[in-house]
Structure 1
Amino acid sequence: MSLWEAAYRLAARGLSPAGGRARLSILIYHRVLPEADPLFPGETTAAGFDLEMGLLKRVFAVLPLGEAVARLKAGTLPARAACVTFDDGYADNATHALPILRKYGLPACFFIATAYLDGGRMFNDTVIEAVRRAKPERVDLGRFGLGEHDLSSPEAKARAIGAILSQVKYLPPDRREDTVAGLAAALTGAALPTDLMLTTAQLQALRQAGMDIGAHTHRHPILAKLDPAAVRAEIAEGVAALEGILDQRVGLFAYPNGKPGSDYLPQQAAIVRELGFDAAVSTQWGAACAASDPFQLPRFTPWSRDKARFQPQLLRNLVRSYF
């Protein structure tokens, strides 16, 4: 361990001591790619994830999320407690992330949107892969209410994807699927990939490897845009599918998109509580403490491509509180 890492461990212990004053850092990931994506060079690669997990283990005490939540409530967390989580259910979580987690002996929790298992494709990936394959340098998507976009370079395509997704993600699920299907047909005649998400066998392998599995709804809608009955139905369908595949109770939940106040509201958090979950996680940055709402636990996204900043970022995140 370097002197810097020893100093980071000492600082982390000061910010997150054991027991009732402990703070829990929960990291959030989505994909772990085999190599850098030209459209999104900042997306986590296997090499980057390997480096980050090594850095995490040398400074933090990494726990399974279910255990960490129970110990946070009980006031028995160890110093420097942290968890690793993944959202959505990408196949590369099994093919690339799992071997790295095993290498370092680290647990993780995988939140699964069940509609996309076994060959499905999330709406965002339909947009990404259609724009990636688009030939025109400029497109008019006005008939979908999505404006005109420059597609003349990888950087321009990335900007277009961001602008399009910011609009379609908030559509009702059926309309969202119809919109992205029409957009894909307008942009490219090429076949889009059907192997991006986990298979049932891969999901079972994650659980057999000792990983926690959590619910993430069925079709990944923005819950704040649904009525209470639809919220309950989306969550229940996802849980039922997971429990049928895994033959065990699922007690953890992640809000799709996860920003409190826009993607979910207190009334949706109340529904999650009423449905009998043990805890739920958001995408609000910060570290959880004993006073945090267990159904709105914050998570932190490691964002810098400069890995020398990874541990300092985690320390800064420990200072942030979210209740």
Structure 2
Amino acid sequence: MTLNQLIYKATRPLGGLQLARILARHHPRILMYHRLSATDEPGKIHVDQFRKQMRLIKRHFHPMNLTELLAAHEQGNVPNHAVVVTFDDGYADFAEYAFPIMQEEGIPSTLFITTGFVNGDLWLWPDQLRFAVDMRVIPLHQLRNDFELNLENQGSPGSLWNELADYSLTLNNRDKIKFIDYIYSEFGVEMPGRVPDEYLPVTWKQLKEMSLSGLDIGSHSVSHPILTKLETNELIFELSESKSMIKKNLGLTADMFCYPNGTVEDFNEEVKECISNAGYKYAVAAYPDGPALDDRWCIKRYPAQYDMKNFEKNVYGMSHIYEYSRNNVKMR
């Protein structure tokens, strides 16, 4: 049990969450979700759990979309207890489950869309790998393994997918495509001619309807590449083309960009400069280290948690207080 978990377990029955909420009232919590499901599926949050989380936010916090929060920050009047719900990628289950639940519960939301995915031009590369793993017909020990992988020791499809995905993150876009083709060949799986139903995107028509009902929309690139591994012309295309597609299909000016993958290794000063030059005003990361809004090109978010204990620690501010205290101790 980590120290953070121990603090949560010891203080929750004594009102620790309520105290954390008060202490962290000036710290906006921006939550990052990806997928929901009506059944228990790995990598997805059950719709019932999601609704429970939204109701908690509605009852104890000040829900806003990200555009509203950023405007308030620019004006110097961010409300206490601000919480923002964001989703990445643009899967069909956002329109099927997430948005209707948030509408019913009165929770504003922000969606970052991968425009080539929504447009039907591609499906996301992590899903391509997951499909190959799930459909694999050739035993692992029979693979050539031309890459630096330890595939023979994988105990589950999930762990195998994790290793393939982690390795893919080290590759530039062209080599990643070659690697995925290699995996399909070695696994004895044929690449589907269309996106499987499990991985379908939301449609432009649905996005238009949801935007008219208040959905806040930003860009998540065209094809979800690792931006730091792109050539400059490729990077500019991912930024400008996604912005143009949102304008063309939705009539919206996308001011916010969301880094694919979103870790500290996935963007740098060159990427930030290109994002600014492409006409964006903000960029969003996928980790919560430090104040949420201190850098407009690195807005911090908390990954969504299925487990209510971890969700409560994040949304009530306990995680923020713990990290702040730990960092201050280190500085001394």
Whether the TM-score (by the shorter chain) exceeds 0.5 is yes
With normalisation by structure 2, the TM-score equals 0.83
**Correspondence 1:223 to 2:227:** yes
2:131 aligned to which of 129, 132, 138: 129
Alpha-carbon separation, structure 2, partners of 1:194 and 1:72: 41
1:171–1:308 Cα change, 3 Å: closer
1:254 positional shift: 0.4
Alpha-carbon separation, structure 1, partners of 2:252 and 2:261: 26
1:214 aligned to which of 177, 200, 218: 218
**Aligned residue in 1 for 2:251:** 247
**Correspondence 1:311 to 2:315:** no
**Aligned residue in 2 for 1:15:** 24
1:268 aligned to which of 263, 268, 271: 271
1:111 positional shift: 0.7
1:11 positional shift: 3.3
1:30–1:255 Cα change, 3 Å: same
1:259 positional shift: 0.9
Alpha-carbon separation, structure 2, partners of 1:140 and 1:56: 50
1:15–1:82 Cα change, 3 Å: same
Higher mean displacement: 122-131 or 222-231: 222-231
Task: Find the residue that maps to 1:276 and give its secondary structure.
Answer: coil
**Correspondence 1:293 to 2:295:** yes
1:138 positional shift: 2.2
With normalisation by structure 1, the TM-score equals 0.85
1:146–1:242 Cα change, 3 Å: farther
1:283 aligned to which of 282, 286, 297: 286
Alpha-carbon separation, structure 1, partners of 2:152 and 2:53: 35
Q: Note the residue ranges of structure 1 that are not aligned, 5 or more in a row.
A: 17-21
Is the 2:62–2:79 contact (alpha carbons within 8 Å) kept by the matching residues of 1?
Answer: yes
**Aligned residue in 1 for 2:196:** 194
Task: Find the residue that maps to 2:112 and give its secondary structure.
Answer: strand
Deviations 1:102-133 (A, max 9, x none): 12111111111111124431110010011112
After TM superposition, the structure 1 = structure 2 runs for residues 68-79 of structure 1, keeping only pairs within 5 Å, are: 68-79=69-80
1:105–1:225 Cα change, 3 Å: same
Higher mean displacement: 69-78 or 135-144: 135-144
**Aligned residue in 2 for 1:19:** none
Alpha-carbon separation, structure 1, partners of 2:65 and 2:163: 36
Task: Find the residue that maps to 1:131 and give its secondary structure.
Answer: helix
1:286 positional shift: 3.9
- The residue type paired with residue 169 of structure 1 is L
Alpha-carbon separation, structure 1, partners of 2:177 and 2:14: 47
Alpha-carbon separation, structure 2, partners of 1:310 and 1:160: 27
Is the 1:72–1:289 contact (alpha carbons within 8 Å) kept by the matching residues of 2?
Answer: no
Identity of aligned residues (%): 24
**Correspondence 1:28 to 2:37:** no
Alpha-carbon separation, structure 1, partners of 2:144 and 2:53: 42
1:273 positional shift: 2.3
Task: Find the residue that maps to 1:130 and give its secondary structure.
Answer: helix
Q: Note the residue ranges of structure 2 that are not aligned, 5 or more in a row.
A: 1-11, 328-332
